[in-house]
Amino acid sequence: MTTATYTVKGMTCGHCVSSVKEEVGEVAGVTSVEVDLASGLLTVGGDGPIDPAKIVAAVEEAGYEVVNPS
């Protein structure tokens, strides 16, 4: 299992967290999504490598921004 961590900017409430979790959870290969509202940290787990661009696109689809995407 692989994990990657991203910092998401713009989340202010539980609904924001739910939106990010839902969009990122739909990315192919993603098996787990954890979002910490206080720190803005998004931790994504998968069975194999996951394209970071797809994670960034999913976060943007939810209406938020990834800070310093890798």
Calpha distance 12→32 (Å, rounded): 22
Decide: pTM greater than 0.85.
yes
Per-residue DSSP letters for the chain? -EEEEEEEES--SHHHHHHHHHHHHTSTTEEEEEEETTTTEEEEEESS---HHHHHHHHHHTT-EEES--
pLDDT of residue 1: 84
Sole residue written with tokens 């409430």: 13
At 22-63, the pLDDT tens digits run: 999 999 999 999 999 999 999 999 999 899 999 999 999 999
Domains and CATH numbers, the chain: 2-67 (3.30.70.100)
